[in-house]
Structure 1
Amino acid sequence: MTSLEPTTIGKRAAEILKAMQAHPAYARLTDASMKYSPCWATFTGYPTISKWNLEADGGPLLVEALRVLALKAAVYELTGGDERAAELLVPDPVDEMIHAVLAQFTLMTKLQTDLGLLFPHATELESYTYTRGCVTDDYYAAAGWGEQPLRYWLDSREVNRRLVILNGLYQQVGIGVDGRSHNIDFDTVPDNWNPVGAAS
């Protein structure tokens, strides 16, 4: 097993990202991932970003997701396929964008086959405990990608604080904790109902 030195992981991750970007399917992958945005309707990841805006934040989040996928692939490769080691701690908003990229199953399969890589992702191994200064940050820095945008790289403590606020607001409109339920009865809403501020 190769040592998990940040410089080793970072160097390999940077190579992987460059190989992804050079692949003929890369433009289609990024385009398709952005077109997946109607399915980004989550309550616990993207909304934890202050003044979240799909148009402004989608592109930068995609960059971060692709970088993390390259880091995970490097760890997986350099540890001889250790899925646990490769399931890096990442902030919730970035993790949600990773899901949007991985939803492009055909394109990701093609990239994996053509580049001889595996982009690991195991939800049962995920832990929402990303903390600033953890090994993920060390790998990111070693890849030479500069400073992480702190707008998206939210520490889990801050995410949890924001989720308390969000859940309080959700409750006011009948949405349950983390958006896992609601008490809206669509059969009782008139066909011509138009909430204040909604498009006509």
Structure 2
Amino acid sequence: MATSTTMPDAAAVGDRAAEILRAMQNHAGYERLTSSSMKYSSCWATFTGYPLVSEWDLDRDAAPLLEEALRVLALKAAVFELTDGDEAAAELLVPAPVDEMIHAVLAQFTVMTGMQRDLGLAFPHATELERFDYSRGCVTDTYYAAARWGEQPLRYWLDSAEVDRRLAILNEHYQGAGFDPNGRSHGHTFDATAPTAA
């Protein structure tokens, strides 16, 4: 879904997003938000998000991905605010691994609701508006740079062409394990008895 809203100035978004992220970090619920998001590991993984990261390792990658997710949520909140609530404009393009961590953060509904109320913000996220064609140099990257958070870790910031290439490789592996493309179905019945340890 396209937006007719003119995207806001990068400096304004960057400055506001940096303020929002600092406010989130100073909020009483921040520690609960981050620790709860990290504990969600048994539920958060899909076949098409985190596995795209080369040599993915939960212990190594969860914390940096969480940092990227919080930065993107601050950017989206800034765009939402500066466009008078345009959800389509605020649904910035992000790579699949970062998007998956955003879902893990937003699953912390109680603390996110409290944070939005206390900070007078909205952290928009509309799945029906998501597009999976993030590419380096897009407006998301411009806003990220304007927030002065340093270089994006390219380990996670994969453009859509690289995501498609990696998904093709993963799908070959998934098929070998009996899963249809992107892990959307399988024929395993779970009738077989699990082998017992000797």
**Alignment TM-score, normalising by the size of structure 1:** 0.94
- C-alpha separation in 2, matches of 1:191 and 1:179: 22
> In the alignment, which residue of structure 2 is the partner of 1:165?
169
* Residue deviations 1:10-55 (CA, integer Å, cap 9, x gap): 0000000000000011011000000011102310010000000011
> In the alignment, which residue of structure 2 is the partner of 1:197?
none
Any unmatched runs of 5+ in structure 1?
195-199
* Residue deviations 1:51-91 (CA, integer Å, cap 9, x gap): 00011000000000000000000000000000000000000
- C-alpha separation in 1, matches of 2:194 and 2:84: 58
Taking only aligned residues, the RMSD between alpha carbons, in angstroms, comes to 1.4
Same amino acid, percent of matched pairs: 68
Paired letter, 1:25: G
CA contact (8 A) 2:7 2:89 kept: no
- C-alpha separation in 1, matches of 2:176 and 2:80: 44
Structure 1 residue 3, shift from structure 2 partner: 6.1
Any unmatched runs of 5+ in structure 2?
none
> In the alignment, which residue of structure 2 is the partner of 1:100?
104
CA contact (8 A) 1:76 1:86 kept: yes
- C-alpha separation in 2, matches of 1:75 and 1:9: 6
- C-alpha separation in 1, matches of 2:81 and 2:45: 33
> In the alignment, which residue of structure 1 is the partner of 2:92?
88
- C-alpha separation in 1, matches of 2:94 and 2:13: 16
Paired letter, 1:185: T
**Alignment TM-score, normalising by the size of structure 2:** 0.95
- For the pair 1:59 / 2:63, whether they are aligned, the reply is yes
Paired letter, 1:30: T
Give SS of 2:56's match: coil
Q: Aligned pair count?
A: 194
User: Runs of 4+ in structure 1 displaced over 4 angstroms?
Assistant: none
